[in-house]
Amino acid sequence: MSFDAYALATPGARRLQPYEPGKPLEQLEREYGITDAVKLASNENPLGPSPMAQRALEAVLQGVNYYPDQHALVQRLGERHGVAGSAVTLGNGSNDVLDLVARAFLLPGCNAVFSEHGFAVYWLATLACSAEPKVVPALPSSHAEMPYGHDLPAMLASIDARTRVVFLANPNNPTGTWVERPELEAFLDAVPEHAIVVLDEAYIEYVDLAAFPDGTAWLSRYPNLVVTRTFSKIYGLAGVRCGYALSSEPVADLLSRMRHPFNVNNLALAAASAALDDAGFVAHSAATNRAGLAQLRGACQSMGLEVIPSIANFVCVDVGRPAAPVYEGLLQRGVIVRPVANYGLPDHLRITVGRAEDNERVIDALASVLRA
């Protein structure tokens, strides 16, 4: 008798490929014999975590023998966003709440709609439920206003009777593109109520644009809207894993039924709650990011490279050739960025905004690789 685990697995599990994170610094240094490497691959905050969050982490260590209680952070987030605590769902990072939505509303025979170049977790979460991903082509690279951006009319036309979830990142990862208020509002008006719209706002705290929408303002208007946020980006807490969803109370109730017990640990709860109070750190991080975006964009354009418009904490750069050898050349120079061929962008690299000196290092390394 021969055991075949793959034959026993669900169709979704058989189609999945594991998520591949950016290469860790330690791995690069170990494999290449390099020291003093710099990582600008995973859209982390180069300034580190909020100082208030660091102090909270130190203070809570003595209580890790107790199971976590989410109540305090849930209530604070509800107050922050003007919703009841029963409309808040916490997750082990925002990717956890994306998965909760998929598990609550997708099943075989249903589909999820999302844009080309959208976050990899949308695909993974959909397949894990043995549902069908419907990937809508993005706007063309020649589009005058938003090359590689979401094509909202095409996404709307792709929604059918079997669509249960629509994933929409604003700003989008890995392109950095965005949708402004009038267009997004018209889209939400037109989406049928049998489809849950997940508005992924992981990078919203970096945005400085008057026409940019805050999805939480529409929660009372659209009962099928779910807004997701994270503490991993501007708050600098990627390593402790805390994200959340805001929705109507019935949707939150269903997400809570899918949520694993104690899915957010004591350290993450304490750090996230403290980080909410650190407005100065958030403002400093946003200002550092604006300067870094301009630094990277200007340098890449001076090399003759096309840069996709971005208002997040990264740029996506067309290096004018297959990006894999360029990525390898950067690794050899101790610089980690993110290749995005798996997002349908084989000639692009995504570069996280770092500190000014880190940005300068990746600029110099990129210029050196391209000359070589």
pLDDT digits (tens, 9 = 90+) for 193-229: 999 999 999 999 999 999 999 999 999 999 999 999 9
Can you tell me the mean pLDDT for 91-117?
97
CATH of 51-275, one of 3.90.230.10, 3.40.50.620, 1.25.40.10, 3.40.640.10: 3.40.640.10
> What does the alpha-carbon distance between residue 215 and residue 318 come to, in Å, rounded to a whole number?
30
Residue tagged 């490497």 (tokens): 37
Mean pLDDT of the chain: 96
Letter for the amino acid at 182?
P
Tokens standing for 361?
């290092």
- Domain coordinates in residue numbering, the chain: 22-48+280-371, 51-275
What pLDDT is recorded for position 358? Answer: 97
> What does the alpha-carbon distance between residue 304 and residue 20 come to, in Å, rounded to a whole number?
30
Letter for the amino acid at 359?
N
E-assigned strand segments in the chain: 38-39, 88-91, 111-115, 132-136, 163-169, 196-200, 225-230, 243-246, 306-307, 314-318, 335-336, 338-340, 345-352
Q: CB within 8 A of 220, min separation 6: which ones?
A: none
Pick from 168, 218, 177: which is nearest to 197 by CA?
168
pLDDT digits (tens, 9 = 90+) for 246-255: 999 999 999 9
What pLDDT is recorded for position 1? Answer: 67
- Cβ atoms within 10 Å of 189's Cβ, excluding its own: 9
CATH match of 22-48+280-371 with 3.40.50.720: no
- Whether 51-275 and 22-48+280-371 are alike in CATH topology: the answer is no
Can you tell me the mean pLDDT for 60-86?
95
Q: Is the distance from CB of 311 to CB of 206 less than 8 angstroms?
A: yes
**3-class secondary structure, 207:** coil
Can you tell me the mean pLDDT for 64-72?
95
Give me the percent of the chain exceeding a pLDDT of 90. 89
